[in-house]
Amino acid sequence: MGPDGLPQVSLIRRGVERWQAGHPWIYRADLNGDPALQGGEVVRVTDARGWFLGKAFYSKHSKISLRWLSYEDVAVDTDFFRQRLALADAMRRRALPGETTYRVVHGEADLLPGLVVDRYGDCLSVQFLIPGTEQRKQLLVDLLVELYKPRAIINRSDVGVRALEGLPQEKGVLYGTQPGPVAYDEGLVRVRADLLEGQKTGAFLDQRENHIMASQYAFGEALDCFSYVGGFALQLATRAQKVTAVEISDQAAAQLRENAASNKLTNVDVVVANAFDFLRDSVDEGRRFDTIVLDPPSFAKNKDAIEGALRGYKEINLRAIQLLRPGGYLISASCTYHIDEQAFEDMLASAAADAKRRVQIIEKRGAGKDHPVLLNLRETRYLKCFVLRVL
């Protein structure tokens, strides 16, 4: 027990070195002994001699035992979390003035480990990823209500990583009533997504700035592969003559059709298909496009899957390059954090060489500003989005 009544956990030297290096986690092997705790507690962390290092959430089941909350000896109480939420929100207001749809909290990168909060206008969608945040669900919901006065708060803690923490998958309505598909603005279009039944927290807010960027390049005949509810397809449709959107999920495809119709975009053709097959068949049929977007789901959840994932990326990028007319644009994304920007670029170079086309890099982008990258935590730098022009 520490002086403030909190349980105390001490680190071996290697743990202290990680703390010094600024990494936001401490692994079990770097603890000095096994604390007799349940998990979810805020603990006081010291070095082996009892020097204060900071305060952290403790996890019992995970290999990641500690996630730093503060490097100062402050009380981790309601006010602490209120201030952290306000700090996170303040950055979004500066970086994205006037926006009401953005990621409010990006976990560790906002000094709120194990918490994700996405705001879609007047509705919020939240993920509690560790016992520390799971056990403070009500407190966090109360603070979010205070900050945003939302119509509804949806819990989307139905994610696999919770299993590593000994937590079950959960989803439901935490505040207000199930709002059904929620509408939010993205550039010139209005998108609807179902926060409770859709993928992730309802949509992929990390690509919002890239969606809007894509409209700038779009022209002629466009193809959007892995479309979900149309983040890219709808933007392409504001500029291109015609857009073909390829999506494997019936539910997402139906929402995309509805989104196109409600925006009076009559030039979107939604195809329910496997994008790998669609791309292969299109090459075989000699089809051509002027603008192509590839935004697949993550192909590698762990390091062992990297090779297979790179093969997958290369296959779709090679085909896309083959399908583009000279002067056409390829917007190619990857959210696999095990494949970094350099590895992704090398894969693209190899695809271009195999296609025997010369390809320019026009832009190298990442996730939007509301998904800050934390220096010293590679995992927060996961999204790559290249704009390429095929000559």
Please identify, using beta-carbon distances, which residue of 6 and 283 lies nearer to ligand SAH: 283
CB of 231 to ligand SAH, least distance (A): 3
Spatial distance between the Cα atoms of 246 and 226, rounded to a whole number of angstroms = 6
Identified binder of ligand SAH from the candidate list 143, 256, 275, 383, rule CB under 6 A: 275
Residue choice 247, 300, 320, 334 for contact with ligand SAH (CB under 6 A): 247
What residues have CB less than 8 Å from 190, skipping those under 6 apart? 183, 184, 259, 262, 263
Q: Does residue number 301 form part of the binding site for ligand SAH (CB under 6 A)? A: no
Q: What's the token pair of residue 386? A: 């290249």
The interface with ligand SAH within residues 32-91 (CB under 6 A) comprises: none
Catalytic residue among 123, 225, 335, 385: 335
Give the shortest CB-332-to-ligand SAH separation in angstroms: 12
**Cα 305 → chain centroid:** 19
Question: Can residue 101 be called a binding residue for ligand SAH (CB under 6 A)?
Answer: no
Among residues 58 and 228, whose Cβ is nearest to ligand SAH? 228
- Beta-bridge partner residues of 307: none
Q: Which of residues 108-147 bind ligand SAH (CB under 6 A)?
A: none
Joined tokens for residue 303: 């390091």
228 binds ligand SAH (CB under 6 A): yes
Q: By CB under 6 A, tell whether 372 contacts ligand SAH.
A: no
Tell the residue number behind the tokens 């139905």, with chain if given. Answer: 158
User: Of the ranges 44-52, 92-100, 182-190, 245-253, which one interacts with ligand SAH (CB under 6 A)?
Assistant: 245-253
* Binding range to ligand SAH, per CB under 6 A, among 51-59, 69-77, 98-106, 290-298: 290-298
Query: Is 19 among the residues that bind ligand SAH (CB under 6 A)?
Result: no
Please identify, using beta-carbon distances, which residue of 46 and 235 lies nearer to ligand SAH. Answer: 235
**Which region among 36-44, 181-189, 220-228, 381-389 touches ligand SAH (by CB under 6 A)?**
220-228
- Per CB under 6 A, does 246 bind ligand SAH? yes
Contact between 325 and 290 (Cβ < 8 Å): yes
Question: Please, what is the minimum distance in Å from the beta carbon of residue 167 to ligand SAH?
Answer: 24
Q: How far apart are CA 270 and CA 291, in angstroms?
A: 16
Rule CB under 6 A: choose which of 232, 329, 344, 386 binds ligand SAH.
Answer: 232
Strand 123-128 and strand 152-157: pairing?
Answer: parallel
Q: Residue from 274, 360, 361, 362 that binds ligand SAH (CB under 6 A)?
A: 274
What is the DSSP secondary-structure string of 10-69? Answer: EB-HHHHHHHHTT-SEEEGGGBSS-----SS-EEEEE-TT--EEEEEEE-SSSSEEEEEE
Position 231 contacts ligand SAH (CB under 6 A): yes
Task: Please state the closest distance from residue 262 (CB atom) to ligand SAH, in A.
Answer: 16
Nearest residue (CB) to ligand SAH, 8 versus 267 = 267
Residues paired with residue 11 on neighbouring β-strands, in sequence order: 31
Provide the token pair at 309: 């994932």
Least Cβ distance, residue 251 to ligand SAH (angstroms): 9
- With CA atoms as reference, report the closest residue to 364 among 345, 337, 385: 385
Consecutive H or E run containing 327: strand 324-334
For ligand SAH, the closer of residues 76 and 279 by Cβ is 279
User: What is the distance between the alpha carbons of residues 275 and 260, in angstroms, rounded to a whole number?
Assistant: 20
Asked if 138 contacts 155 with a C-beta cutoff of 8 angstroms, the reply is no
Q: In what order do the strands lie in the sheet with 52-58?
A: 8-10, 42-46, 52-58, 64-70, 25-27
Active-site residue, 123 included: no
Q: Which of 59, 62, 65, 227 binds ligand SAH (CB under 6 A)?
A: 227
Nearest to 84 by CA among 93, 76, 95: 76
Helix orientation angle between 306-323 and 275-284, rounded to the nearest 10 degrees:
40
CA distance 146 to 311: 48
Site residues for ligand SAH per CB under 6 A? 199, 203-204, 207, 226-228, 231-232, 246-249, 252, 274-276, 295-297
Q: Report the catalytic residues.
A: 335
